Amino acid sequence: MAEAAARRHCRRGGASGGHRLTAIGPSRSPSAAPLSWQRAGSGGGGGGGRAEAASGGMEPAGAPPQGCGPAQEAEEPPGSPALPAEEPESRQPAGAHPGEGEPSAAAGRERERCRRGAGPQGPPGRTARGRGRRAQGRRGGEEGGRAGRRPRVTVDSSKAKTSLEALKISLRQLRWKEFPFGRRLPCDIYWHGVSFHDNDIFSGQVNKFPGMTEMVRKITLSRAVRTMQDLFPLEYNFYPRSWILPEEFPLFVAEVRMMKDSDPSWKPTFIVKPDGGCQGDGIYLIKDPSDIRLTGSIQSRPAVVQEYICKPLLVDKLKFDIRLYVLLKSLEPLEIYIAKDGLSRFCTEPYQEPTLKNLHQVFMHLTNYSLNIHSGNFIHSDNVNTGSKRTFSSILCRLSSRGADVKKLWSDIISLVIKTIIALTPELKVYYQSDIPAGKPGPTCFQILGFDILLMKNLKPMLLEVNANPSMRIEHEQELSPGVFENVPSPVDEEVKVAVIRDTLRLVDPQKKKRKDIQCQTLEHVSEANEELLDTGPADRPEYDTTKSPEAGLPSLCLKQVFPKYAKQFNYLRLVDRVAALFIRFLGVKGTTKLGPTGFRTFIRNCKLSNSNFSMASVDILYIDITRRWNSMGIDHKESGMCLQAFVEAFFCLAQKKYKSLPLHEQVASLIHFCEYHLAALDEKRLVCGRAIVDRRSAVVPCQADGLHLPPAAYTPLLNRTATASKFADYRSHRC
């Protein structure tokens, strides 16, 4: 009733004298009054004579999450209405007439004067100036209202699966809008639990890259790292020596025999990991190649066999590994963030170096949480410094107290992460252009990866594997009675994982750029208003609040950017990235991931790689041999043609033929320069020809120049003149 009376009063002209009504939204406190009315100042909002129910159907934001600042210090969530400052002395009961304390009769006489055409009472000369201030206040209020009523970021969590609880907490802290059952309209962010293809998405952002799940499988990761080890063996010595089964089993046997013959004291241990396995499934240790279980599933379930790290760093006599969370925010340009904290997952039996007697004791040798949780020795702890799962920062503090160089350790870990991502990005770009071709609608992508790292006794970090879908559960199962389990919160998991998800969302916030633009516009309006109101007193000026941020009250980011921050130190490693760019250029058909024979021949021809010693017939033989071998390995039979890994092998072969006296990485770099030079020259030639055609058409039909449709070569050159000139200069300097 009070609301209705106030609205009727507004419609009848109750905003006389430039005053207006603004509805104060519901307080975040559950006990607060649901709605109250208050008179806004001259710069408080929209035009006079209008009441705004600023909090209409907005749902309450709730209490601030743990770790955030007090509610009164935090800013309103994005999408909340712009609220005027609350002044207790100006608050009036619902339904009261707005005014400066004058009786309602005086307000009626004032309205009668307005209807007769007379201005409001006041000293001569103040009317125009007051009207100007009110107009300026309205303009400022509209801008302030737009800045305050920011649309909330929308997140589709219908496919979040096990990360749902941590995601919900993060969204509550950010005060974003969650759609747990999906939404007919597009959302800003789609949070998938498993794969990029969980939903058909044509806009917004999705937290998975196409092809990432395939790229971090044990075999594919081993191949990608091995390619980089061939180019830069010293830089990629953080990954154990690996063999792929079953195709490399004879090579594995031969190399082990050769190493034993050269060093009889060498008694290695190897670990066998199924390619598609997870959570420790199917992993076992062997002392000799003959112990590999070749019968049965090895043919249908390929595996990787690696040299086992026998001397790990121990804490409390237990072996442990580190789960670090890495955000791949963008592929092009490459942008990588590392979480400042992670998890340390411990074995549950004291470690001993592997022998034939203890090879099968998984609780001693395997650090997988999903295995050790079934051990009777597993300790659930709410303390980050104790138990079978602890924070990585607690381990660093312990190492630092022992005098270890923790800064160098972090530097080595950052280097390991960047180098691993560099090894993965070439093929990821092929998958990306296949699922999201240039020029077609599609989402942008980001992804949280889980890096499993083992510290050796000398604190050298070794990469065990990369997880495309690291577990984001923040609870664990506890057995109450035989066969009866209950989910119990895990403070250690929540402390690390909620921060990673929340700060990932903060980094990919689609409203961030819009807010910056609005802030800039608001500051411009503030400057203009100050110039126009120099002749007025401070009390007459509208107030602008440009200091608030939607992230007020949140802790600082737990994710640290490492690339492109350290790009200068690692860009020399990105040779295969440039080879992949050549591969993608000659794919021809959008949406494909394999190069056909025609595309390979075009690559050879355009890059001037054929000559009297390497004819086109030899080119065809090279293509057939390499493609047939890679296809026999079971690499994606859905498409016929040459995959990127096969193309990289062919490119290395061509580089070794052309530059015989150089190390492999210099051979490859030289051939890349050679190809880029000739392709730049070809693009320049096409550009010149296209311009000549345009000039001829313009000369013949000058009146139609504005509506001329140019051929593709004339307006879509792959390299402009500046880029071409730089390619020429680079190639000349390289040859010198």
Instruction: Tell which wins on pLDDT, 365 or 539.
Output: 365
CA–CA dist 189, 216 (Å, integer): 24
599-612 per-position pLDDT tens digit = 999 999 999 999 88
Percent of the chain with pLDDT over 90: 47
Confidence band, pLDDT 50/70/90 cuts, at residue 453:
very high
Instruction: Tell which wins on pLDDT, 401 or 275.
Output: 401
479-518 per-position pLDDT tens digit = 777 777 788 889 999 999 999 999 999 999 998 866 666 6
Residue 635 phi, psi (nearest 5): -90, 100
pLDDT above 80 for 31: no
Could you write out the DSSP letters of every residue in 157-169? EEE-GGGHHHHHH
Q: How far out from the chain centre does Cα 655 lie?
A: 35
- pLDDT score of 454: 97
CA–CA dist 436, 420 (Å, integer): 24
- pLDDT score of 443: 86
Going through 347-432 in order, the beta strands assigned E by DSSP cover 389-391
- pLDDT score of 427: 95
CA–CA dist 220, 422 (Å, integer): 14
Confidence band, pLDDT 50/70/90 cuts, at residue 686:
confident
pLDDT above 50 for 586: yes
**Element housing 17 (H / E):** none
Instruction: Tell which wins on pLDDT, 654 or 203.
Output: 654
158-204 per-position pLDDT tens digit = 988 878 899 999 999 999 999 999 888 889 999 987 777 666 777 88
- pLDDT score of 438: 73
3-class DSSP state of 314: strand
pLDDT above 70 for 150: no
- pLDDT score of 431: 92
Could you write out the DSSP letters of every residue in 564-605? TTTHHHHGGGTHHHHHHHHHHHT--STT--SB-HHHHHHHHH
306-341 per-position pLDDT tens digit = 999 999 999 999 999 999 999 999 999 999 999 999
For residue 625 the two structure tokens come to 């041999």
Confidence band, pLDDT 50/70/90 cuts, at residue 519:
low
- pLDDT score of 61: 37
348-359 per-position pLDDT tens digit = 999 999 999 999
User: Is-contact 496 342, C-beta < 8 A?
Assistant: yes
Helix, strand and coil in the chain, % to nearest 5: 40, 15, 45
As to burial, measured by CB atoms within 10 angstroms (0-12 exposed, 13-18 middle, 19+ buried), residue 613 is exposed
On the CB side of 400, CA atoms within 13 Å amount to 11
Q: Which of 101, 120, 3 is nearest to 51 (CA)?
A: 3
Average pLDDT rounded to a whole number, residues 408-435: 95
Confidence band, pLDDT 50/70/90 cuts, at residue 541:
very low
**Element housing 192 (H / E):** strand 189-192
Computed over every residue of the chain, the mean pLDDT equals 77
For residue 342 the two structure tokens come to 């992670």
For residue 406 the two structure tokens come to 């923790």
- pLDDT score of 230: 96
User: Is-contact 366 318, C-beta < 8 A?
Assistant: no
Kindly report the length of the chain.
736
- pLDDT score of 517: 61
Q: What are the residue boundaries of the structural domains of the chain, listed by start? A: 2-120+127-150+514-540, 151-214+315-510+555-570, 572-735
Average pLDDT rounded to a whole number, residues 681-685: 91
3-class DSSP state of 432: helix
- pLDDT score of 550: 62
Confidence band, pLDDT 50/70/90 cuts, at residue 529:
low
Average pLDDT rounded to a whole number, residues 215-233: 95
Going through 296-362 in order, the beta strands assigned E by DSSP cover 303-307, 314-315, 318-330, 335-339, 343-346
What's the Rg (C-alpha) of the chain? 33
Q: Which of 221-230, 288-297, 657-666 has the lowest mean pLDDT?
A: 288-297
Q: Which of 506, 525, 528 is nearest to 517 (CA)?
A: 525
33-50 per-position pLDDT tens digit = 333 334 344 344 444 443
Average pLDDT rounded to a whole number, residues 621-643: 84
- Label residue 33 left, alpha or beta by phi (over 0 means left) and psi (-120 to 50 means alpha): beta
- pLDDT score of 60: 38
pLDDT above 80 for 554: yes
Instruction: Tell which wins on pLDDT, 599 or 108.
Output: 599
Map tokens 């998991």 to a residue: 493
CA–CA dist 342, 413 (Å, integer): 12
User: Is-contact 660 442, C-beta < 8 A?
Assistant: no
pLDDT above 70 for 28: no
- pLDDT score of 270: 95
Percent of the chain with pLDDT over 70: 66
- pLDDT score of 71: 36
pLDDT above 70 for 14: no
CA–CA dist 17, 38 (Å, integer): 16
